[in-house]
Amino acid sequence: MPNRGLPVVVIGSGAAGLFTALQAAPVLPVLVLTRAGAAEANTAWAQGGIAAALGHGDSPRSHLEDTVAAGAGLVDEAAARVLCDEGPARIRELAALGTPFDLSGGTFALGREAAHSANRIVHAGGDRTGARLEQALLAAARAAGVTIQDMSEVTGIIVEHGRARGVRIHTVAGAERAIEARAVVIATGGAGQLYSHTTNPAVARGEGLALAFDAGAELADLEFYQFHPTALRFPGVRPFLISEAVRGEGAVLRNAAGERFMPRYHPLADLAPRDIVARSIVSEMQRDGADHVVLDCTEVAARMDIVARFPSIASFCGELGIDIRTTPIPVAPAAHYFMGGVRTDTWGRTTVAGLYAAGEAACTGVHGANRLASNSLLETVVFGGRTAAHIASGAHQPAESDAHAIAVDCARFAPPSHAALQDLMWHAAGMERDAGRMRDGLATLRSWRTTEEGSPSARVAALMLEAALAREESRGAHFRSDFPELDDAHWHRRQVFRRAD
């Protein structure tokens, strides 16, 4: 790295981390630290695509309306407006830096996804959008002189006199080391690995939220976790996502008796909102004593070349002996996307000076209580770009604190195993919640011993349970069987947490 002073340290090498690094690199030295291989990130697994108002007749305003509607009353409209307005230009930038988006007639081929009122999903390699994006960003970041140090897990943010000054890392070689920084960006992605069934890869353990909380930053919307209805359920195999787009093409869900059940639950049947499809599948599984239902694509295969349309799904299933053209795919819901995260403003600033967050680890408020499909990759680049711009500007002011932030203590719990934590969260803070289950979950968590380090994931889990228990209503992805109604009068507000001391 040329000697241009202290680097901007970016934690995480998914789309948010790499795009932030790439944008800052012309002005400042940048060091990306990442806990596993450079390409190991949620980003690389994304299938459907990225939403932006690029089509004829579409507009950022219409994209904004869809985003606000999906978020069930809690979307921060100012942030969502930034997302939708700046989206199209960021997609063109991604194309210019080498992302091989699929084209049709010389322009972006635009797909449609649930709850979008226009065709606005750009994709690459059919259903390989994330992998292609990750490769393009890694190549561009390296070419721009960004240093990417893999196998380096960040275990703490160094804060001095109220300002983030660097990070502590743990390398696979077992070394502990401090690295000084002019600014630190948390781009650590999601938290699917807090649950026993998840579409997220092993690196998604929610640790960035614990890093931020420990450093004194605020966390928001922790009760809102989105479950995807259709992840592959196959013994010994990670729940690989079977995209909603497969149902969009006409695939249907069937229960153990082979019956199509979604028409019994919702007028939109298999294309009902994600949370409704997920809960309906769970009801069928419980009634039948099964651990999955099936997604039947056979009629779609009779109409179109389904293997060409969904190459990665076809090949993943094919390796397990499931020919999706002839054999229904066993599926069940799985933890997928975290709407909550480190509270930031629209420049990626947290409430700690010099500490920023971007991507799935951040919470700008654009998703509210439920994310609109394909807005998350867009968020990584729109707010990653703005984070880099703010750091490059040299301004130092942190974001304003939330006047209603709740101060909480969070002990450093050490679960007997990570699997024990995942089981606890699956049962206590899953798709269907009630006070009894959440209280029991919290009690178990609090009964675990505490250690000097504890488990960062367990700290985040405890805060998620606190937030979910406090919100006595059902909204967006947060469904409480003991409070099934929306309570706009009392709960039309976000919950923000910060460390008590």
Ligand X SMILES: Cc1cc2nc3c(=O)[nH]c(=O)nc-3n(C[C@H](O)[C@H](O)[C@H](O)COP(=O)(O)OP(=O)(O)OC[C@H]3O[C@@H](n4cnc5c(N)ncnc54)[C@H](O)[C@@H]3O)c2cc1C
Residues that bind ligand X (CB under 6 A): 11-17, 33-36, 40-43, 45-50, 129-130, 153-154, 187-190, 199-200, 203-204, 207-208, 241, 337, 359-361, 374, 376-377, 380
Residue 103, strand partner residues: 108
Place of tokens 């940048």: 30
Q: How far apart are CA 429 and CA 468, in angstroms?
A: 8
CA distances from 462 to 162, 236, 334, 455 (A): 25, 28, 20, 11
Q: Are 127 and 314 in contact (CB under 8 A)?
A: no
Question: For ligand X, which is the closer residue by CB, 87 or 398?
Answer: 87
Q: How far apart are CA 140 and CA 160, in angstroms?
A: 33
Question: For ligand X, which is the closer residue by CB, 255 or 375?
Answer: 375
Residue facing ligand X at closest CB distance: 14
Nearest distance in Å: CB 188, ligand X: 4
CA distances from 163 to 167, 177, 287 (A): 12, 19, 54
Nearest distance in Å: CB 48, ligand X: 3
Backbone angles phi, psi at 102, to 5 degrees: -70, 140
End-to-end CA distance of the chain: 38
Q: Are 73 and 488 in contact (CB under 8 A)?
A: yes
Helix axes 456-470, 207-215, angle to 10 degrees: 80
Question: For ligand X, which is the closer residue by CB, 14 or 368?
Answer: 14
Number of neighbouring beta carbons within 10 Å of residue 1: 10
Cα–Cα–Cα angle for 261, 264, 267, nearest 5°? 115
Backbone angles phi, psi at 245, to 5 degrees: -60, -25
Question: For ligand X, which is the closer residue by CB, 49 or 354?
Answer: 49
Question: For ligand X, which is the closer residue by CB, 112 or 486?
Answer: 112
Residue 38, strand partner residues: none
CA 398 to chain centre: 24
274 in active site: yes
Nearest distance in Å: CB 302, ligand X: 26
| Identified catalytic residue from 247, 274, 386, 475 | 274
Nearest distance in Å: CB 113, ligand X: 8
Q: Are 474 and 433 in contact (CB under 8 A)?
A: no
Nearest distance in Å: CB 263, ligand X: 26
Question: For ligand X, which is the closer residue by CB, 117 or 481?
Answer: 117
Q: How far apart are CA 353 and CA 335, in angstroms?
A: 32
Q: Are 40 and 409 in contact (CB under 8 A)?
A: no
Question: For ligand X, which is the closer residue by CB, 150 or 434?
Answer: 150
Nearest distance in Å: CB 38, ligand X: 7
Nearest distance in Å: CB 437, ligand X: 25
Q: Catalytic residue positions?
A: 274
